[in-house]
Amino acid sequence: MSGDDVLVDVPRERDVVDHRLLHAGRVWDLVSDTVRLDDGDVVREYVDHPGAVAVIALDDEDRVLLLSQYRHPVRHVLWEPPAGLLDVADEDLVTAAARELAEEADLVAGRWWRLAEYFSSPGGSDERITVFLARDLTPVPEADRYVRGEEEADIVPVWVPLDDAVEGVVAGRLHCPTTVVGVLAAANARLAGWSGLTEVTPA
């Protein structure tokens, strides 16, 4: 590879000769594909996921909003940005992000940018998460606020200086993937003077 080459992940379809539903879950399914590769057919089981969005909300002091939330599979209370599933039919990504910001953090953002996108666990899930940067924040009116339940009922919000959040990621104290990716992407974008980001608008 020369210095002028740009690394990029490339979509590629392989023939799926058999697809089976192993378990229909409440949020996502477990499926099995028999995939035709160059040296023969292989079976791959994975989580069929609807996808998700996450929001790095920054205030005028470059503090990032993180929420504490219990995550049962890892038996941890994690510090996470507002985030949620793409579980509303025909909802575009940034509109989903704006909905999650309002539901989980009682905030509305005046400006939005696409910050990062990643596969959360590409060896075992097709989940794709898009992370947005949100600024010019104002509170949702009290009468219009979403009533949170289940794990979300115990959410505790904190505003953390972006540099402190980066240090927490690098030191291994913060483990949520949306926090790790989003905080580091925001810090990198700030180093570049926020240039290069694509501004987007909720529907």
117 among known catalytic residues: no
pLDDT band at 63 (very low <50, low <70, confident <90, very high): very high
Greater confidence, 94 or 144? 94
Rounded distance between C-alpha atoms, residue 53 and residue 202, angstroms: 13
What is the set of domains in the chain, with CATH numbers? Answer: 1-48 (no CATH), 52-200 (3.90.79.10)
Mean pLDDT over all residues of the chain? 92
Mean pLDDT within 45-68: 97
Determine the pLDDT at residue 152: 64
Number of Cβ atoms within 10 Å of the Cβ of 66: 26
104-114 per-position pLDDT tens digit: 999 999 999 99
155-164 per-position pLDDT tens digit: 889 999 999 9
Helices and strands (H, E) in the chain, number of each type: 3, 11
Looking at 91, 103, 117, 152, which residue is catalytic?
Answer: 152
Predicted TM-score (pTM) of the model is 0.91
Sheet holding 76-80, edge to edge: 76-80, 63-71, 156-161
64-86 per-position pLDDT tens digit: 999 999 999 999 999 999 999 99
Closest CA to 86 of 76, 101, 97: 97
Whether residue 128 has pLDDT greater than 60: yes
Determine the pLDDT at residue 153: 61
pLDDT band at 90 (very low <50, low <70, confident <90, very high): confident
